[in-house]
């Protein structure tokens, strides 16, 4: 396993709509393992393939940051098929360091995806885990959490990114 360099904003790979994974092979397994190691080392609660420069629909989420094995989710070709509720809470992104903002997300999501062998899986997640999954699925569509901001929050983030020399 290896810790991979994390791509940061405004790298254009973060704006790509990722391709569906078609090959469930050893290379995919290695990429997933490296992404898990990279996420935990950061440390972060989620990481999507474009954040390590790979334009494929693969994301890893672990809201326990390595403390509970059952919390680790590997999502291949994930799709949010149902969502309920709405909650505003603070969010950040490993690709936009030093910046957090309040973002509205559903409180419960149902996700269909595949595992690393290609088998179909279905996950229902709530609260912080639902937020993390929404954030990572967004990444696979080239969407960043700052895109959800409106009005004063959006203006504030634009100023901050400018100050950090990133826009
Ligand atoms: Ni992110």
Indicate the domain borders of the chain.
Answer: 12-163
Query: What is the dotted CATH code of the domain comprising 12-163?
Result: 3.90.45.10
pTM above 0.85, yes or no: yes
CA of 93 to the centre of ligand 1 (A): 4
Among 78-82, 103-107, 113-117, 159-163, the range scoring the smallest mean pLDDT is: 159-163
CA of 123 to the centre of ligand 1 (A): 20
User: What span, in angstroms and rounded, lies between the C-alpha atoms of 85 and 106?
Assistant: 5
Query: Could you tell me which residues come within 8 angstroms of residue 8 by beta carbon, excluding any fewer than 6 positions away?
Result: 95, 96, 97, 166
User: What span, in angstroms and rounded, lies between the C-alpha atoms of 102 and 88?
Assistant: 6
User: What span, in angstroms and rounded, lies between the C-alpha atoms of 69 and 103?
Assistant: 28
For residue 167, pLDDT beyond 70: no
* 145 close to 95: Cβ distance less than 8 angstroms: no
CA of 25 to the centre of ligand 1 (A): 25
Catalytic residue positions, numbered: 136
The DSSP secondary-structure symbol of 67 reads S
């Amino acid at each position: 396993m290896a810790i991979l360099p994390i791509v940061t904003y405004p790298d254009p790979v973060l704006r790509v709509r990722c391709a569906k994974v078609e090959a469930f092979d050893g290379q995919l397994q290695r990429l997933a393992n490296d992404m898990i190691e990279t996420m935990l080392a950061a440390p972060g609660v989620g990481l999507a393939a474009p954040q390590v420069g790979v334009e494929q629909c693969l994301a890893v989420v672990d809201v326990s940051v390595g403390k509970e094995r059952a919390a680790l989710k590997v999502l291949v070709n994930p799709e949010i098929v149902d969502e309920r509720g709405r909650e505003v809470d603070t969010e950040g992104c490993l690709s936009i360091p030093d910046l957090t903002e309040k973002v509205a997300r559903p409180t419960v999501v149902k996700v269909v995806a595949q595992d690393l062998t290609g088998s179909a899986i279905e996950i229902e997640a709530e609260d912080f885990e639902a937020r993390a999954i929404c954030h990572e699925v967004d990444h696979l569509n080239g969407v960043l959490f700052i895109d959800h901001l409106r009005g004063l929050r959006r203006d504030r983030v634009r100023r901050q990114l400018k100050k950090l020399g990133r826009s």
